[in-house]
């Protein structure tokens, strides 16, 4: 899209110099009128005095002051004349309409919203983002910023009110972007835990980390580019299952954790049994038949995999 923003290059003066000239015109006009009256109505002098007073009066409306990271969009009878960015006190054409904007970074802490993830589970997800105005032309003329500011209940010329209107626009678009990103991924990999190892590597909202944040930031910048708004950073700051399924999913997570723990225990127990049989054969401690080996394996697995401490039974021999 063509960049229509440019810096204001029209006539502007240092505010203090303009103020000096303004006062000089007003005093000169008043002095000219007084002199013309004293001379019995000198028409030329009186006309000069009136002209100086009129020009001096209109000059009073051309002063403005900008702080760092502030800008004013300059409009002359409906035509965009550029963006004024110089910091300090200045005088410009008093017939120029100025619309103040803040270019400072702003935070937005979006309230958690309920969405369905990739597998259809309802989740609550929220984010925080840092944004700022980048293109003042798009901000003022590509979206209806004036109407949004007026709807806030305060005069649209107020810079704070206008920025609140942009914040409302960012909030609505961030809601849409968050729903779009959240719908592309599962909350976690519980749904795919019984599939192949490759599926375990599927990106999820819970463990996506920076990759999910980067995609969210990209989606936000795509949506907010039309308004000249740039997102500097976007991060998920809230993620949980919706209340109606939270308890069920917690039990499911616990069950998966128990299964994973059992798999590790069995894997370790089998390794220990194999090592025990190998060491007995290597050191020729005792010769065991296949039946005895099977019984030994069974006993060792029971001992190693049991939740409770095994109670040994001592064989003291048989009665004749």
Angle (CA) 68-69-74 rounded to 5° is 105
For residue 231, being part of any structural domain is answered with: yes
pLDDT(318) > 80: no
Distance CA 133, CA 1 (A): 17
What are the residues whose beta carbons fall under 8 Å from the beta carbon of 18, sequence distance 6 or more? 59, 62, 63, 90, 91
Res 312 pLDDT > 90? no
Q: For residues 214 and 221, what is the distance between their CA atoms, to the nearest angstrom?
A: 11
Task: List pLDDT tens digits, range 269-311.
Answer: 788 877 877 777 777 776 777 777 777 777 676 666 766 666 6
- CA geometry: angle 252, 258, 263, nearest 5 deg: 125
| Pair (206, 291) in one structural domain | no
Q: Is the pLDDT of residue 150 over 70?
A: no
Looking only at the bridges linking them, the beta strands covering 79-84 and 229-241 are: unpaired
| pTM of the predicted protein model | 0.70
For residues 200 and 290, state if they share a domain. no
What pLDDT score does 19 carry? 94
| Same domain flag for 119 and 193 | yes
Residue 311 falls inside a structural domain: no
Q: Does 217 share its domain with 265?
A: no
Q: Is residue 5 part of a domain?
A: no
Q: Which of 193, 210, 241 is the last residue of a domain?
A: 241
pLDDT of residue 279: 75
Of the residues 78, 99, 120, the one at which a domain ends: 99
Q: Is 158 among the domain residues?
A: yes
Residue 312 included in any domain: no
Judge if 70 and 143 occupy the same domain.
Answer: no
Under 8 Å between Cβ of 185 and 211: no
Tokens (6 digits) for 269: 């127990």
Residue with the bigger pLDDT between 199 and 40: it is 40
* Residue 111 sits in the same domain as residue 93: no
Q: Which of 276, 262, 271 is CA-nearest to residue 305?
A: 262
Residue 6 has pLDDT above 90, yes or no: yes
Same-domain pairing of 75 and 48: yes
Summarize pLDDT for 78-108 with one digit per residue, the tens. 899 999 999 999 999 999 999 999 999 999 9
Same domain, 277 and 300: yes
Residues 61 and 166 grouped into a single domain: no
How would residue 121 be classed by pLDDT, with cut points 50, 70 and 90?
Answer: confident
- Across 45-75, b (16+ Cβ under 10 Å) vs e yields bbebbeebbeebeebeebbbebeeebbbbbb
Average pLDDT over residues 245-255: 70
Binned at pLDDT 50, 70 and 90, residue 161 comes out as confident
pLDDT at 154: 39
The domain that contains 215 carries what CATH number?
A: 3.30.479.30
**Per-residue pLDDT averaged across 25-30, rounded?**
93
Question: Would residue 319 count as lying in a domain?
Answer: no
Whether pLDDT at 316 is above 80: no
Pairing of strands 88-92, 70-76: unpaired
pLDDT in tens, 171-221: 999 999 999 999 998 888 755 444 445 545 678 888 878 899 999 999 999
Q: Residue 315: inside a domain, yes or no?
A: no
The answer to whether residues 117 and 200 belong to one domain is yes
Indicate if the pLDDT at residue 7 is higher than 90.
Answer: yes
155 pLDDT band, cuts 50/70/90, is very low
Structural domains of the chain, count: 3
Between 316 and 178, the higher pLDDT residue:
178
Its domain, for residue 66, covers 12-99
Tokens of 233: 């950073």
Which pLDDT score is estimated for 178?
Answer: 93
pLDDT value at residue 58: 93
Q: Specify the pLDDT at position 125.
A: 92
Q: Are residues 271 and 225 in the same domain?
A: no
Same domain, 75 and 150: no
Which of 99, 114, 136 delimits the end of a domain?
99
pLDDT at 26: 93
Classify residue 60: in a domain, yes or no.
yes
Computed over every residue of the chain, the mean pLDDT equals 83
């Amino acid at each position: 899209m063509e960049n229509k923003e440019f810096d204001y290059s029209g006539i502007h003066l240092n505010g203090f110099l303009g103020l000096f000239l303004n006062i000089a015109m007003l005093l000169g006009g008043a002095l000219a009128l007084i002199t013309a009256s004293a001379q019995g109505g000198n028409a030329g002098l009186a006309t000069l005095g009136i002209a100086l007073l009129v020009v001096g009066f209109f000059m009073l409306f051309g002063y403005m002051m900008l702080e760092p990271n502030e800008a004013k969009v300059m409009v002359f009878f409906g035509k965009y004349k550029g963006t004024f960015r110089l910091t300090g006190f200045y005088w410009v054409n008093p017939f120029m309409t100025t619309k103040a904007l803040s270019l400072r970074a702003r935070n937005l802490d979006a309230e958690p919203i309920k969405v369905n993830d990739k597998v259809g589970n309802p989740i609550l997800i929220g984010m925080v983002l840092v944004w700022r105005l980048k293109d003042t032309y798009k901000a003022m003329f590509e979206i209806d910023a004036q109407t949004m500011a007026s709807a806030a209940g305060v005069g649209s010329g107020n810079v704070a009110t206008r920025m609140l209107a942009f914040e409302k626009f960012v909030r609505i678009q961030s809601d849409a972007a968050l729903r779009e990103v959240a719908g592309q991924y599962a909350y976690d990999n519980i749904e795919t835990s019984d599939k192949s190892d490759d599926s375990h590597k599927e990106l999820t909202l819970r463990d996506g980390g920076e990759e999910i944040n980067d995609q969210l930031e990209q989606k936000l910048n795509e949506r907010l580019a039309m308004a000249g708004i740039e997102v500097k950073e976007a991060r998920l700051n809230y993620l949980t299952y919706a209340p109606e399924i939270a308890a069920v999913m917690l039990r499911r997570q616990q069950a998966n954790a128990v299964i994973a723990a059992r798999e590790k225990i069995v894997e370790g127990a089998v390794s220990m049994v194999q090592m025990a049989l190998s060491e007995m054969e290597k050191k020729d401690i005792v010769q065991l038949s296949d039946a005895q080996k099977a019984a030994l394996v069974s006993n060792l697995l029971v001992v190693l995999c049991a939740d409770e401490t095994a109670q040994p039974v001592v064989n003291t021999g048989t009665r004749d």
